[in-house]
Amino acid sequence: MKKEMLYEGKAKKVFATEDPNLCIVDYKDDATAFNGLKKGSIVGKGVVNNRLTNHFMRLLDKEGIPTHFVEELSERETLVKRVTIIPLEVIVRNIAAGSLAKRLGLEEGHVMSRPVIEYCYKDDSLGDPMVNDYHILAMNIATAEELNTISGYSLKINEYLRDYLLKHGIVLVDFKLEFGKLPDGTIVLADEISPDTCRFWDSESNEKLDKDRFRRDLGGVEEAYQEVYRRILGEGN
Ligand code: TMP
């Protein structure tokens, strides 16, 4: 089914298929941080991220969020709709952490009084700089209507996942989304939703259960990914 490789990113490979409208995503265990400056591997990450992403995409589809998900093919491979990625990282934050805490002098853990959306322009050579609505419209990255759809979906995804994860003992601190466009212009959720792209804290202890363990050399990285997997996809769930 897999044909030529179309793209290799830091955490995934994307392959063409016989159907020009579909491609296959293959999740790797490779991990990077700080725009590729820090490199490593998180054993089993590809499986966790593939299966968790697909689980979240199925749930979100039912909630009325269109996604690129088609079918899980194996523990690391998924068939998805081929999209043109909109070059934006859409970050939603409920609790101050990471770059927001640093930039605004907020203590990590400070609860924001409402969700915050930030956009970064996806360009590795520039280090994914933050942009606002005006930049996005003036650079024709998205139209006003598309941006409205993207922000609306992002807030809805936040509300749904925040409640869902809390039921599994996980606080959704913040996360990053990417959207793509189908040939007919429909905007769909693409990329992944995983401990690589979200901050997940244990709801009792605030222990970090995500890639910050790798970024910050906290140890227990594999264990954290497995713990999120167990809480969400383990037996009895
Ligand atoms: P930040 O606090 O470092 O800006 O990260 C915000 C959220 O976005 C956090 O959940 C991690 C996620 N993220 C990515 O998925 N990819 C990235 O390249 C970066 C910098 C952050």
State pLDDT tens for residues 92-139.
Answer: 999 999 999 999 999 999 999 999 999 999 999 999 999 999 999 999
> Residue 33 belongs to what domain range?
2-81
State pLDDT tens for residues 168-204.
Answer: 999 999 999 999 999 999 999 999 999 999 999 999 9
| pLDDT value at 90 more than 90 | yes
Q: Is the CB of 208 under 6 A from ligand 1?
A: no
Q: Measure the CA–CA gap between 4 and 227, rounded to whole angstroms.
A: 34
**pTM metric for this prediction:** 0.98
Tell which atom from ligand 1 comes closest to the C-alpha of 175. Answer: 10
Q: Is the CB of 52 under 6 A from ligand 1?
A: no
Would you state the pLDDT for residue 23?
Answer: 98
| pLDDT value at 237 more than 80 | no
Would you state the pLDDT for residue 235?
Answer: 80
Determine the 3-state secondary structure of 125 from DSSP.
Answer: helix
Packing angle between helix 221-233 and helix 45-62, nearest 10 degrees? 30
How confident is the model over 62-66, as a mean pLDDT?
A: 98
Q: What is the mean pLDDT of the chain?
A: 98
The token pair that represents 150 in the structure block: 């993207």
Residue with tokens 């020009």: 20
Which of 118, 120, 197 should be mutated for ligand 1, with most atoms under 8 A from CB?
A: 197
The token pair that represents 138 in the structure block: 């003036």
Question: Looking at the structure, do residues 122 and 70 belong to the same domain, yes or no?
Answer: no
Note whether residue 235 is domain-resident: no
Q: Which residue, by CA, sits nearest to atom 18 of ligand 1? A: 35
Would you state the pLDDT for residue 58?
Answer: 98
Which of 30, 38, 91, 119 should be mutated for ligand 1, with most atoms under 8 A from CB?
A: 91
Which of 154, 176, 177 should be mutated for ligand 1, with most atoms under 8 A from CB?
A: 176
pLDDT band with cut points at 50, 70 and 90 for residue 1 = confident
How confident is the model over 40-61, as a mean pLDDT?
A: 98
| pLDDT value at 152 more than 90 | yes
Give the chain's domain count: 2
Cα dist. 102→96, 97, 115, 144, 172 in Å?
9, 8, 17, 30, 19
How confident is the model over 213-227, as a mean pLDDT?
A: 98
CATH classification at residue 54: 3.30.200.20
Would you state the pLDDT for residue 101?
Answer: 98
Amino acid of residue 69? F
- Ligand 1 centroid, distance to 236 Cα (angstroms): 31
Question: Looking at the structure, do residues 128 and 194 belong to the same domain, yes or no?
Answer: yes
Determine the 3-state secondary structure of 201 from DSSP.
Answer: strand
Boundary of a domain, candidates 50, 81, 112: 81
Q: Other C-beta atoms within 10 Å of 161: how many?
A: 20
Question: Looking at the structure, do residues 103 and 214 belong to the same domain, yes or no?
Answer: yes
Question: Looking at the structure, do residues 94 and 112 belong to the same domain, yes or no?
Answer: yes
